[in-house]
Amino acid sequence: MEVGAVASMQFVKGAIRAAKLVSEYTQHTLLVGNRASTFALSMGLPGPTNLSSPESLEKWAKWKQNNCEPNFRKNVIPVNGCGPYRPVIGVSDLQKNYYACDNKETIDRGSILANANTGSEHISRHNHDTISMAVIDKLGHIAVGTSTNGATFKIPGRVGDGPIAGSSAYADQEAGACGATGDGDVMMRFLPCYQVVESMRQGMTPKDAAVDAISRIKRKYPDFVGALFALNVQGVHSGACHGWTFQYSVRSEGMEDVEVYTVHPEDN
């Protein structure tokens, strides 16, 4: 139950190290924004650092040229290509064939509904960078951590499931650990890693616990994309996924190298 997290942090490369500092040197659980960056720098992490790469700047420039599409907004109308965005007033307006902005522009119903998406289509193995890791030491202590750059084209200020305890990661040395990745905006509503660890505490195998947690999400959101791994205190591990083929790696005492395990959605 020692937890540290940071979110919306800029200028500091070692986000997961910053999260550990929150756990070790504060009584808080979560620090966010530039104040989190200030804390990390004051505790000795290197920076401030420009975290933009030529690839990310090129992607951003092309996105701006495409009127900031795709994005994660819904039920809104952009006054210009990249905003500002204004809400569609009332549910009934979605049933109309047009919506008149203050500038009297007319936008058809198809354009409105095009903005009303869940965001899942932006999440895939090709644009994800989440790393979640669980470790058991020789004394049986368990630690888990997750680090991510977040969803591509996210709305500024968005916090995903990465820093939310019980969502992208959770551990209890009486039961085991879990790490998750995918459509964090959906998955965090279910705290899937907390669910996995509690299921193992109640006697479920890692496989059954992982499948159960994914099944709970896909019953409500059949189009979501995500995956998780489960690890019990004996070192038995498994994974489950939905919407993509998921791979996770394992290395334990006596192994000469990492072994990669592949999980298919149909395995659930």
Instruction: From residue 116, give the alpha-carbon distance in Å to each of 85, 123, 182.
Output: 13, 16, 20
What is the model's pLDDT at position 126?
Answer: 55
What is the model's pLDDT at position 4?
Answer: 97
- Closest by CA to 224, choosing from 140, 153, 124, 154, is 124
CA–CA distance, 226 with 11 (Å, rounded to integer): 28
pLDDT exceeds cutoff 80 at 108: no
> For residue 216, which amino acid is it?
R
Q: What is the mean pLDDT of the chain?
A: 87
User: By 3-state DSSP, what share of the chain in percent is helix, strand and coil, each rounded to 5?
Assistant: 30, 25, 45
What is the model's pLDDT at position 128?
Answer: 58
What is the model's pLDDT at position 25?
Answer: 97
pLDDT single digits (tens) 148-168: 988 889 999 999 999 999 999
Q: pTM score, two decimals?
A: 0.83
Q: Where are the domains of the chain?
A: 5-42, 54-119, 122-267
CA–CA distance, 183 with 123 (Å, rounded to integer): 6
Give me the percent of the chain exceeding a pLDDT of 70.
85
Catalytic status, residue 181: no
**Interior angle at CA 152, CA 130 and CA 120, nearest 5:** 85
Of 29, 38, 130, 146, catalytic: 130
pLDDT single digits (tens) 174-206: 999 999 999 999 999 999 999 999 999 999 999
Question: Domain spanning 122-267 has what CATH number?
Answer: 3.60.20.30
CA–CA distance, 268 with 260 (Å, rounded to integer): 18
Cα 70 from chain centroid (whole Å): 18
pLDDT exceeds cutoff 70 at 125: no
Helix (H, G, I), strand (E, B) or coil at 190: coil
The neighbouring-strand residues paired with 197 are none
Retrieve residue 79's tokens.
Answer: 């006054």
pLDDT single digits (tens) 84-105: 999 997 544 444 433 333 333 3
